[in-house]
Structures are given as structure tokens and as C-alpha cells.
Homo-oligomer: A and B are copies of this chain.
């Protein structure tokens, strides 16, 4: 249960079987940093190319396909004051006939809103010449993280799948325990794409993008196989489906929840389904990325 301080000096814009930067054991904790989606670090310097650059990957000793990797997000804290976000709702989020009425930018428009992020005050304040002031409470999260996909694949950090990836779900905040299926030896955990705050659906294509100080702890669950990412907070358990269209996300997440309730909580199929029928909730992670994300949630107190 070692504590590692890791300062990245290179990043990846795919999640894949890249050479590991560090080897971790079950129970180890890592203190590290992530750059923002555009590759800018905590000093506002572009240290790598844009596109959700990932810190890592971290190799977890003894992790083998068929196991589960648990990652506790111990700390996710913006490490600079400059955040930025999109300003126009993505055209796939509105009625097709409304698309021309969106506020399309002029060709030379930078098309970014800038935000002043104050961790001490826990606020993000909009800085935009054309828009009245707006101050929002922070809710720092990771947009993109996960383990290397199967078959030696290396998949763009634009998208997501059973291995996690760019899920852009505002629920991945400090304190959450996230579970991933181990798909390659060592699991190879990647992380990045911090958001100081994000709405449901990531409908402007970004949260408030920012670099982060991150701490996480890994746990290896040998011989336990899951199909899609799962998570736990103090109050809820949840499962994550990444696909298109949203309907399919719901199918993946709901199936995973049913399996979880039956296999680990010992509910009979009927009991699980009657319970979910009246008590389940769903969150819309993102409807912007190549794969969308829906989350299936259940309150712990019902279990």
C-alpha cells in the first residue's frame, strides 16, 4: 500500500497497451496531475498535443483479464485558475431543423468561454465579453479515464466503451469508487480530461476544462468479472453504458445493474426487477462524444 508521487512527462491521446509509467500493487495510492483536454498543464503551458491527453498508463501487478480493477478517486482538484468551455450546443443535441439557428461562430471566433476557477471559494466565474456574469459552484470530475481495451486496441480518447474512456459523466467526482473490467494484463489505467464542472450530456462539447491534481487508490479484485464500468458513492451504486444511441447505453447500463444486484447483492431476478422498476434513476453522462453515456443508479439504502 505504497504512496507514489508521479509527475507525467508524456501523455497519450489513445487508451491502449502503451508502456506503463509506473507499476502499482493492490492498495497503492498515486498522487499525480492531469493536463486539460487541450494539453495545457497547471501553469497554462501547452505541454502536449490536444485531444484529452492521458496521464499513465499505470500497470497493476497481477491484474489479468477477467479480474476487476477498482479505482477510488480520492482527490480531484483544479490546479490552476483558468478554465474554458464551449459556447454553442452541439448540432446533434437540437432538432435538425433548428441547427442553422444555433449561434455559429464567425470564422475567426475562438469559440470558447473562459472561466476563472477559484478552488478556495469553490467557484467558477464566467469571463465573456458578450455575456452577463455567471458564477457557479465547482464540482470537479474526470471526463476520460479507464483501462486498456482488449485485443491490443488503442482507442481515441474522444470515445468510450466497456473499458471506460471519455464518458464525460459529471458523477465521477472525488470520493467515488469506480470499477473497470480488466481486459489486458496489468489493466493499464489511464486518466485525464478534468472538468471543474459539467452539465448533463456535455451538450456544449465540454465541461469547464482544466488541469487537475489527482489522487487515486487502486484495488484489484481477482476473479471477479464485470462487463461495463460500475461505481459507488456513499449513497448510491451505479453502472455505466457507453454506446450510441442513448437507448443502447440504457440497455448496457441496466443489464449490468441487474447482473450486479443478482450476483453480488443476492437479489432474486424478480426482486431485482420489481425494485428497479419503481426506484431506478438514470443520468445522462454525455450525448456529445462518438459513444454516448447513460448511467443507471440505485440508492444504497434500498439494498
Interface residues of A (CB under 8 A from B): 13-14, 16, 51, 85-100, 102-104, 113, 124, 126, 128, 130-132, 134, 136, 149-156, 197-204, 206-208, 243-248, 250-252, 254-255, 258, 268-271, 273-284, 287, 292, 294, 302
Contact = CB atoms under 8 A, between A and B. Distances in A.
Contacts of A113: 274
Given A103-B270, A280-B201, A246 B246 contact: yes
Contact of A96 (B92, B156, B274): B92
Nearest to A170: B281
A95 B278 contact: no
A131 B274 contact: yes
A244 B248 contact: yes
A93 B89 CA distance: 19
Given A88-B273, A153-B153, A282-B283, 8 more contacts: A85-B277, A87-B277, A88-B270, A93-B251, A93-B254, A103-B269, A155-B155, A243-B244
Provide the main secondary structure of the chain A interface.
mixed
User: Which are the 5 A-B pairs with shortest beta-carbon distances?
Assistant: A204-B277, A91-B96, A246-B246, A99-B99, A103-B269
Contact of A278 (B85, B104, B274): B85
A32 to B, nearest CB: 23
Contacts of A154: 16, 152-154
A188 to B, nearest CB: 14
Given A85-B277, A153-B154, A269-B102, A287 B247 contact: yes
B277 A203 contact: yes
Contacts of A153: 14, 16, 153-156
A244 B246 contact: no
A131 B250 contact: no
A198 B278 CA distance: 5
A287 B128 contact: no
